[in-house]
């Protein structure tokens, strides 16, 4: 697992963010401790794609059918900070994971 240099990057979450994780500010949805999936938008070089984090599978699935914008290596580089930050956040709600794999989904849906 990658480690952050604590002198350069803070590793403590703010009190407000901790309260959000504990469900104190959520008017809709469920408490974070009950979550099994997280959904995140990501923008890279003015191109948006979606990320689904499956906590049970320890995998970040990226949904980006257009390979012309980003290579697999660029996607991994873009998501590398998330593979460090998300385990830190999940640890605050007693979900301990060591690492997250990254898998790219390139299926194009026809509507």
Q: 88 to each of 18, 49, 80, 82, how far by Cα in Å?
A: 12, 23, 13, 10
| Structural domain that includes position 97 | 37-105
Number of domains forming the structure of the chain: 1
Let me know if residue 79 belongs to a domain: yes
User: What pLDDT is recorded for position 76?
Assistant: 87
Q: Residue 83 has what pLDDT?
A: 87
Assigned domain for 30 exists = no
Domain CATH for 86: 3.30.310.130
Q: How far is CA 56 from CA 66, 71, 83, in A?
A: 27, 26, 15
Average pLDDT over residues 78-82: 87
How confident is the model over 1-54, as pLDDT tens digits? 445 555 555 556 666 666 666 666 555 555 556 678 888 888 877 888 889 999
Q: Which range, 31-40, 59-68, 74-83, has the best average confidence (pLDDT)? A: 74-83
Nearest to 84 by CA among 9, 7, 23, 33: 9
Residue-averaged pLDDT of the chain = 75
Is residue 5 assigned to a domain? Answer: no
pLDDT of residue 43: 83
Rounded to two decimals, the pTM is: 0.65
Q: Is 9 part of any domain?
A: no
Q: Is residue 21 part of a domain?
A: no
Does 29 map to a domain? no
């Amino acid at each position: 697992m990658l480690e952050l240099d604590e002198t350069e990057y803070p590793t403590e979450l703010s009190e407000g963010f901790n309260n959000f994780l504990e469900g104190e500010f959520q008017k809709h949805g469920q408490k974070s401790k009950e979550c099994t999936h997280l959904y995140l938008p990501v923008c890279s070089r003015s191109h948006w794609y979606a990320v689904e984090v499956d906590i049970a599978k320890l995998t970040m699935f990226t949904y980006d059918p257009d390979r012309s914008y980003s290579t697999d290596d660029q996607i991994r580089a873009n998501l590398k900070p998330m593979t460090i930050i998300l385990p830190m956040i999940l640890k605050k709600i007693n979900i301990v994971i060591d690492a997250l794999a990254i898998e790219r989904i390139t299926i194009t849906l026809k509507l």
